[in-house]
């Protein structure tokens, strides 16, 4: 409940501090006195946007501060989620600076405007005459039905599951699109991969193949050079090996004369060993070299294919080509893996859909079960408000697929006159009828859900006489369940309130200021009498005011 409201430097309000109690509070005053200013100030607490035009003194900042008792609202999770300090007595503050900037605070902690809006929606509901159009909103109507039928938790469960299902369906759709595009390229990618795979390319093959091909292409020249080298090393009288043997023999004779000679001998001996090894290897190479046209042709084909693939894939090395091959293999494999993943998602989506159907059916049945009782209660209460022939119905139309509220398109239908068909409220109810129906709906909601502090802004416009009494009784009954404020021009409604504030406008020279005064009993009598007979209350009006207060207090 709203415990107090402090407003400083806002519109025509220089500074006021108001304290409120539980129950029913009336706010009265002449048209233009400034009652709407109070609503606009509370609008700032709800997160409405404002600018410097709202400042009474353009050089000073505006401060609107409200204290709420939220102990019974179960908002601890909200405060924890938004990293705010929870306090059963929570203070919400808005400031508008002279430069136009606005700041919001919850328990002195700065908050973003959308956070304030979420919190304020749980704390205060301002219902203006224009808000009656909510009655034409099917979402509002079904929320009302869920509150009456106590199916809020079922509806929330369905919405949570539906969101999860919709997320998965979106993922499936995106994956199907990806797979469709990938599938179009799969055959070509498979061809490219198999073309590369057939080559059985390993890193370093390019160098090996080119060297082997060069060897085969120059076999005769190579063989001739190797044969000459072998002949020169060890196949003639004056061969290198023969010369080295003679040198080694000569040096051996003098090796003992000096260490340097021994070193020469050893080095020549080592050279002789190397030369003989070379001779053996040359022999092996000569035996291995032969002109093999078939092998040459096969190797040439491999090298040609390699260079063709270099050009095709715009790479310049076997390592790059292997990377292309691996990438193609991964893409082909990914399509197969994604297909398996997609099938799993589809299976999960089918399971979700089955669960959704079960929850939606149960929700639909619970709503339909509660509908006749709600129709009766709506009719009974509206008859008390001057609509003796009012009839209500709840139309359930099965939807082709799930919607946010279930599997039924639910709408309140209404008839005010005998012999007329039930029609949607937006087509069948006048403005005055909609106002009374809204009051009835709010009174029913007060019994079946925890409404926040509710403010009615002249919901009783156009009502008088006995109907006004009935409206005041409904509001008083609502106030036993919640905190209720009513801005009203009806003396019957004002008399029914537990507390009464008068809003007035005072002119001091060139300045105008709005004042808000809490009335005592005698002041209430005077105010209500003025509402009955005009600015000058007659003795009869005063007596009537006393009787109204006595009637509502008894």
pLDDT in tens, 446-456: 888 777 899 99
> CA-to-CA distance for 429 and 101, rounded, in angstroms?
43
Least confident of 62-66, 79-83, 329-333: 329-333
User: For residue 487, is it within any domain?
Assistant: yes
Least confident of 154-158, 282-286, 547-551: 282-286
Which backbone phi and psi does 506 adopt, to 5 degrees? -120, 135
Per-residue confidence (pLDDT) for residue 202, from 0 to 100: 83
- Same domain, yes or no, for 489 and 539? no
- Same domain, yes or no, for 456 and 543? no
Structure tokens at 393: 């119905």
* Residues written for the chain: 554
Least confident of 183-192, 453-462, 468-477, 521-530: 183-192
Per-residue confidence (pLDDT) for residue 291, from 0 to 100: 66
Average pLDDT, the chain: 87
* Nearby residues of 108 by Cβ (< 8 Å), 6 or more positions away: 91, 93
- Same domain, yes or no, for 240 and 330? yes
Domain span at 459 = 1-124+452-518
The DSSP symbol for 208 reads: H
Question: What is the mean predicted confidence (pLDDT) over 426-443?
Answer: 86
Q: What is the DSSP string of 77-138?
A: HHHHHTT----SEEEEEEEE-TTS-EEEEETTEEE-HHHHHHHHHTTEEEE-GGGGGGGG-H
Question: How many other CB atoms sit within 10 Å of the CB of residue 537?
Answer: 19
User: For residue 500, is it within any domain?
Assistant: yes
Per-residue confidence (pLDDT) for residue 7, from 0 to 100: 94
> Residue 133 pLDDT > 80, yes or no?
no
Out of 284, 313, 338, pick the residue that ends a domain: 338
The DSSP bridge partners found for residue 413 are 393, 424
Question: How many other CB atoms sit within 10 Å of the CB of residue 392?
Answer: 21
- Same domain, yes or no, for 23 and 78? yes
> Residue 62 pLDDT > 70, yes or no?
yes
> CA-to-CA distance for 124 and 435, rounded, in angstroms?
19
> Residue 235 pLDDT > 80, yes or no?
no
- Same domain, yes or no, for 192 and 225? yes
Per-residue confidence (pLDDT) for residue 159, from 0 to 100: 95
User: For residue 428, is it within any domain?
Assistant: no
> Residue 130 pLDDT > 70, yes or no?
no
Query: Quick check: 459 and 486 in contact, CB under 8 A?
Result: yes
Between the two ends of the chain, the Cα-to-Cα distance in Å is 25
pLDDT band at 281 (very low <50, low <70, confident <90, very high): confident
Per-residue confidence (pLDDT) for residue 402, from 0 to 100: 94
Top pLDDT among 224 and 68 is at 68
Give the 3-state secondary structure of residue 314: coil
> CA-to-CA distance for 363 and 367, rounded, in angstroms?
6
Out of 320, 338, 356, pick the residue that ends a domain: 338
- Same domain, yes or no, for 255 and 334? yes
> CA-to-CA distance for 434 and 390, rounded, in angstroms?
12
- Same domain, yes or no, for 196 and 216? yes
User: For residue 357, is it within any domain?
Assistant: no
Least confident of 7-11, 132-136, 264-268, 394-398: 132-136
Least confident of 55-69, 372-386, 505-519: 505-519
Per-residue confidence (pLDDT) for residue 553, from 0 to 100: 65
Structure tokens at 358: 């079960």
Structurally, how many domains does the chain consist of?
Answer: 3
Per-residue confidence (pLDDT) for residue 222, from 0 to 100: 79
- The highest-confidence range among 87-91, 467-471, 480-484, by mean pLDDT, is 87-91
Question: What is the mean predicted confidence (pLDDT) over 215-229?
Answer: 79
pTM over 0.85: no
Q: pLDDT tens digits, residue range 374-413?
A: 999 999 999 988 899 999 999 999 999 999 999 999 999 9
User: For residue 170, is it within any domain?
Assistant: no
Question: What is the mean predicted confidence (pLDDT) over 194-200?
Answer: 79
Q: Which of 524, 532, 511 is nearest to 553 (CA)?
A: 524
> Residue 129 pLDDT > 70, yes or no?
no
CATH number at residue 90: 3.40.50.300
> Residue 525 pLDDT > 70, yes or no?
yes
- Same domain, yes or no, for 187 and 83? no
User: For residue 411, is it within any domain?
Assistant: no
- Same domain, yes or no, for 200 and 270? yes
- Same domain, yes or no, for 116 and 25? yes
Which backbone phi and psi does 399 adopt, to 5 degrees? -90, 155
pLDDT band at 109 (very low <50, low <70, confident <90, very high): very high
User: For residue 446, is it within any domain?
Assistant: no
> Residue 229 pLDDT > 70, yes or no?
yes
Per-residue confidence (pLDDT) for residue 44, from 0 to 100: 93
Strands 2-10 and 13-19 turn out to be antiparallel
pLDDT band at 340 (very low <50, low <70, confident <90, very high): confident
- φ/ψ bin of 47: left (φ > 0), alpha (ψ from -120 to 50), beta (otherwise): left
User: For residue 159, is it within any domain?
Assistant: no
- Same domain, yes or no, for 204 and 99? no
Angle, alpha carbons 510-40-14 (nearest 5°): 35
Question: What is the mean predicted confidence (pLDDT) over 11-18?
Answer: 91
Out of 338, 363, 392, pick the residue that ends a domain: 338
> CA-to-CA distance for 434 and 462, rounded, in angstroms?
12
* Nearby residues of 467 by Cβ (< 8 Å), 6 or more positions away: 385, 386, 436
Q: CA 416, 417, 418, 422 torsion: positive or negative?
A: negative
SS3 string of 417-453? CCCCCCEEHHHHCCHHHHHHHHHHHHHHHHHHCCCCE
- Same domain, yes or no, for 527 and 489? no
Per-residue confidence (pLDDT) for residue 195, from 0 to 100: 80
């Amino acid at each position: 409940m709203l415990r107090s409201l402090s407003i400083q430097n806002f519109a025509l309000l220089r500074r006021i501090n108001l304290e409120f109690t539980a129950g029913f509070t009336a706010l009265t005053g002449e048209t233009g006195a400034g009652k709407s200013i109070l609503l606009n100030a509370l609008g700032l607490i709800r997160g409405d946007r404002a600018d410097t035009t709202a400042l009474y003194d353009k050089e000073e900042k505006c401060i609107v501060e409200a204290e709420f008792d939220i102990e019974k609202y179960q908002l601890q999770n909200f405060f924890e989620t938004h990293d705010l300090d929870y306090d059963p007595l929570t203070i919400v503050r808005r400031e508008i600076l002279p430069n136009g900037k606005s700041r919001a605070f919850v328990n002195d902690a700065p908050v973003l405007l959308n956070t304030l809006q979420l919190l304020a929606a749980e704390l205060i509901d301002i219902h203006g005459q224009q808000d009656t159009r909510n009655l034409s909103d099917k979402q509002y109507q079904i929320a009302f039905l869920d509150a009456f039928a106590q199916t809020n938790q079922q509806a929330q469960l369905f919405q949570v599951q539906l969101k999860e299902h919709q997320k998965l369906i979106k993922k499936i759709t995106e994956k199907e699109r990806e797979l469709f595009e990938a599938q179009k390229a799969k055959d070509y990618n498979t061809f490219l991969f198999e073309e590369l795979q057939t080559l059985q390319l390993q890193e370093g093959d390019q160098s090996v193949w080119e060297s082997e091909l060069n060897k085969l292409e120059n076999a005769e020249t190579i063989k001739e050079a190797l044969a000459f080298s072998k002949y020169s090393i060890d196949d003639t009288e004056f061969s290198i090996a023969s010369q080295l043997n003679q040198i080694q023999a000569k040096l051996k004779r003098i090796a003992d004369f000096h260490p340097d000679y021994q070193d020469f001998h050893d080095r020549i001996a080592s050279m002789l060993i190397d030369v003989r090894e070379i001779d053996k290897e040359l022999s092996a190479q000569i035996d291995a070299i032969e002109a093999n046209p078939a092998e040459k042709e096969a190797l040439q084909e491999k090298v040609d294919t390699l260079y063709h693939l270099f050009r095709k894939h715009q790479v310049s090395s076997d390592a790059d080509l292997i990377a292309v091959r691996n990438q193609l293999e991964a893409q082909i494999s990914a399509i197969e893996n994604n297909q398996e993943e997609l099938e799993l998602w589809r299976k999960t989506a089918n399971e979700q859909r089955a669960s959704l159907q079960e929850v939606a059916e149960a929700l639909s049945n619970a709503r339909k079960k509660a509908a006749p009782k709600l129709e009766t209660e709506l009719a009974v209460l509206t008859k008390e408000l001057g609509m003796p022939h009012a009839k209500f119905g709840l139309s359930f139309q099965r939807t082709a697929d799930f919607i946010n509220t279930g599997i039924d398109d639910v709408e309140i239908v209404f008839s005010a006159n005998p012999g007329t068909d039930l029609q949607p409220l937006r087509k069948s109810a006048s403005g005055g009828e909609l106002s009374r129906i809204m009051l009835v709906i709010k009174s029913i909601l007060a019994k079946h859900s925890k409404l926040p502090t509710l403010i009615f802004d002249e919901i009783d416009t156009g009502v008088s006489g006995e109907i006004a009494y009935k409206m005041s009784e409904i509001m008083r009954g609502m106030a036993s369940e919640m905190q209720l404020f009513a801005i009203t021009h009806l003396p019957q409604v004002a008399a029914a309130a537990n507390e009464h504030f008068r809003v007035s406008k005072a002119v001091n020279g060139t300045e105008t200021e709005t004042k808000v005064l809490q009335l005592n009993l005698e002041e209430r009598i005077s105010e209500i009498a003025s509402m009955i007979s005009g600015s000058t209350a007659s003795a009869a009006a005063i007596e009537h005011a006393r009787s109204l207060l006595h009637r509502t207090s008894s």
